[in-house]
Structure 1
Amino acid sequence: MDFRDQINQLSNRVDKLKENLQTEEATKNALIMPFLQSMGYDVFNPLEVMPEFTCDIGTKKGEKIDYAVFKDGDPIILVECKHWKQDLTLHDNQLLRYFHVSKAKFGLLTNGIMYKFYTDLETPNKMDEKPFLEINLLDIKNNQVEELKKFHKAYFDVENILSSANELKYTSELKSIINKEFSNPSPEFVKLFAKQVYEGVITNKLLDQFTTLVRKSVSGLISDIISDRLKTALKTETSKVEEVTEQETETEIIDNKGVITTEEEKEGFMIIKAILREVVDVSRVAYRDAQSYFAVLFDDNNRKPICRLYFNGSKKYIVTFDENKKETRHDIESLDDIYNYQTELKNIAIYYTNS
């Protein structure tokens, strides 16, 4: 199992167990220790992972931090843990106190779901107040997996991590600012664009009008970009499918007792493959059409259903499956609505891969 699969498996574990974890200690055992294991560290070897690591702070002796990850006899990562429901921003100062009295170059604040990585980019030996990498295991992005991999025991290199930490820190902050401006444009942001299309004085009334226009324009632009990328992905997937001749199509219809696979069903299948390509080899995703539904299967195995598309009736819907073969129906208005259920589709595909 590669690193990406391990993280996806851990993400599924977090989602299933979190509601049953009532204490911080339970969070550590069920979520955080498995995370450290997935990073290649032996959590039962105190030479690699030391629980309750002592950090003396000035006159305070015996101050402890939850875990210290070691390499070559020195701590490299200090880990401060909280219960999975706790807001981590409330506890940053505690890790700040530990950081400057340790040889560790990185601090990690986590509740088992959110993982915030810190270092000393702004002032040497003083931990930054903002993390350079922040990961939500329930919504982890592909590029974040690659950054997380740098902390794996097999790849850990301080200089390599620091070389990208500065860029990650400011990129993250810029994304946050841009997101705020897109959702709720500030007067300065609105004026920046308004002055490029309107030559007169921007009064308060005009500013209100342009605020609405800018918000609509941003929303429309994002929708266009997403639509274009989806079309490109569908074309790419379609180009990889073997061309079917008219003779082969006729043979398929006869073999399936008159079942006709519609273009809409094929497009739905392409969307599902595009979703699953992030977590599995899509060559393992197949379909079988039937009179009443279009089945998407793992390894072309009827005992491994991924989903079923019901497109032949007046009401279109998709049925997803969990690991116990429990069916869940989701009504859809268009093919794009399939993307609303990508979590369910990915989870069952990952389950089949691991089993």
Structure 2
Amino acid sequence: MDANQLLELVKRYQENREFITNEETAKMALVVPFIRLLGYDPNIPREVRLEYAAEFTQGDGKRLPDRMDFAIFDQTGTKPLMVIETKPLGTDLQAKAQQLARYIAQMAELHFGIITDGCHYLFFGDLENPNQMDREPFFSFSLEDTKTDWTKVAKFLTKFSREAFNADTLITDAENSRYRQSMINRLATALKSPAEDEGFMRWLTEEVYKGKRTVAVMNRLGEVAREAIEPALLRVMGDDFLDKLKARIHRLREAGDEPVEGTQNVIKTDAAKPPEEKKEPQSEEKPRAAIETTQEELDLYGLVRDICGKNGINPEEILHRDTANYFNISYRKPTKWFLRLFSSGKRKSVVTWVPAEDAKRLVSGFVVEEAPAAFGASRVYIDNVAQMWALTSLILRSLELSKTSKDEPTAPETAAPNAEPPPAATVS
């Protein structure tokens, strides 16, 4: 299975969802094609059995037949691999998953069940206790979720295919998927409000602060932790991360979807509602700024090239690279930057690799301060780019530091949109 095949299923759903008015239509229009994508043939009873029946023992001891829409077997036709239950489009799937639990409980070799309305697919297993279905799905996806990375979904679903299905490795993969999602949730919570997570703060500060941990001290450290998170994330988000993000956005655009940041393949219980009933909350986030190279930035680049050329440096080796947040000027390759222009804030500034105290000695008549480590070493405020001639010594020194550095500078090539470097944090 590949992403393009899943995108065909997405297209089928989008073109026909207004006509999918009952469970049977959902089965034929979406679930049967999904089963075929996994490599199983619904027309071969050895592999796929419709309305598969097994007896379910009630609390009073009576045994009643219980039917599952699809049961998928191994190539011998004797061992059940997974069962699929279909509900009408818009059903609260989590609330209806108990039927899967009964099947997993009464079939010793069965470990996986899927419940779907044709659009949303929830994967359950017995990862915590054998033949006792977990309360939460270990994986899920939705055909109407524009945030979905279909390449990742296809890669995961391939493990459930006819050719690749292996219960032992799937259990491990399913456990890893659940652990991963739990880690994502915990990390996201901790990074949003570090001071509220006592365990996270204990780990974060154990090698940083050795004194007595009073309430006042922990409140102070919590604020410092909050200020440290953004620079740390920016340092992690290097060129490789950005290249992968750009590739993903390109794939989404080719598929006709709007790129949306973040991918989460576990959907919430209330996500399984019909499109007309689903109310999306109004996002308070501003749209990501488009990268647009301005004439001012090009003028800056031209001035810096002239300054370098007049000081024995080949101007052809001076490069520029624009980002959503600042304009980079580098030597020979983009990661060897030596000057950054921030022009979207209230005041223009340039950032260099020259330490702030040295920068103050190299320029006069300008406001100079230390820059956050995530952006560089020093920041100089300017009124216009023509003033760059007055910063010649600073520019050449920053270029020298960039050229002679054994390692490439570690500051990230991009930053959060619409955010100029914040003042350096201080702790009193």
Which of 114, 134, 141 is 1:108 aligned to? 114
Q: Could you tell me which residue of structure 2 aligns to residue 134 of structure 1?
A: 140
User: Post-superposition shift, 1:20?
Assistant: 5.1
User: Post-superposition shift, 1:39?
Assistant: 0.9
In 1, Cα distance between the equivalents of 2:137 and 2:103?
Answer: 15
Q: 1:193 to 1:115 in 2, by over 3 A?
A: same
Q: 1:233 to 1:105 in 2, by over 3 A?
A: closer
Q: 1:112 to 1:336 in 2, by over 3 A?
A: farther
Q: Confirm or deny: 8 A CA contact 1:80 1:95 kept in the other structure.
A: yes
In 1, Cα distance between the equivalents of 2:137 and 2:91?
Answer: 17
The one-letter amino acid of 2:160's match is F
Q: Could you tell me which residue of structure 1 aligns to residue 31 of structure 2?
A: 32
User: Post-superposition shift, 1:128?
Assistant: 3.0
User: Post-superposition shift, 1:57?
Assistant: 0.5
Q: Could you tell me which residue of structure 1 aligns to residue 359 of structure 2?
A: none
Q: 1:201 to 1:110 in 2, by over 3 A?
A: farther
Q: Could you tell me which residue of structure 1 aligns to residue 70 of structure 2?
A: 67
Higher relative contact order (CA 8 A, sep 6+): 2
Which of 174, 180, 189 is 2:183 aligned to? 174
In 2, Cα distance between the equivalents of 1:208 and 1:113?
Answer: 46
In 2, Cα distance between the equivalents of 1:176 and 1:70?
Answer: 35
Question: Is 1:85 aligned with 2:78?
Answer: no
Q: 1:14 to 1:61 in 2, by over 3 A?
A: same
Q: Confirm or deny: 8 A CA contact 2:190 2:197 kept in the other structure.
A: no
SS at 1:148 equivalent: helix
SS at 2:55 equivalent: coil
Q: Decide which moves more: 90-99 or 44-53.
A: 44-53
SS at 1:77 equivalent: strand
C-alpha distance after superposition, 1:122-169 (max 9, x if no partner):
333333334343344431354442221011112223334234333333
User: Post-superposition shift, 1:118?
Assistant: 2.9
User: Post-superposition shift, 1:179?
Assistant: 2.5
Q: Could you tell me which residue of structure 2 aligns to residue 187 of structure 1?
A: 197
CA RMSD of aligned residues (A): 3.6
The one-letter amino acid of 2:133's match is M
Same amino acid, percent of matched pairs: 26
Q: Confirm or deny: 8 A CA contact 2:291 2:323 kept in the other structure.
A: no
Q: Could you tell me which residue of structure 2 aligns to residue 290 of structure 1?
A: none
Higher helix share: 1
Aligned length in residues: 252
SS at 2:82 equivalent: strand
User: Post-superposition shift, 1:6?
Assistant: 0.9
In 2, Cα distance between the equivalents of 1:70 and 1:132?
Answer: 21
Q: 1:214 to 1:98 in 2, by over 3 A?
A: same
Q: Confirm or deny: 8 A CA contact 1:149 1:155 kept in the other structure.
A: yes
Q: Confirm or deny: 8 A CA contact 1:191 1:207 kept in the other structure.
A: no
Q: How does 1:257-272 map to 2 (within 5 A)?
A: 271=246
TM-score norm. by structure 2 comes to: 0.49
Mark the runs of 5 or more structure 1 residues left unpaired by the alignment.
235-270, 281-308, 315-333, 338-355
Q: Could you tell me which residue of structure 1 aligns to residue 81 of structure 2?
A: 76
In 1, Cα distance between the equivalents of 2:15 and 2:226?
Answer: 38
Q: Could you tell me which residue of structure 2 aligns to residue 225 of structure 1?
A: 236
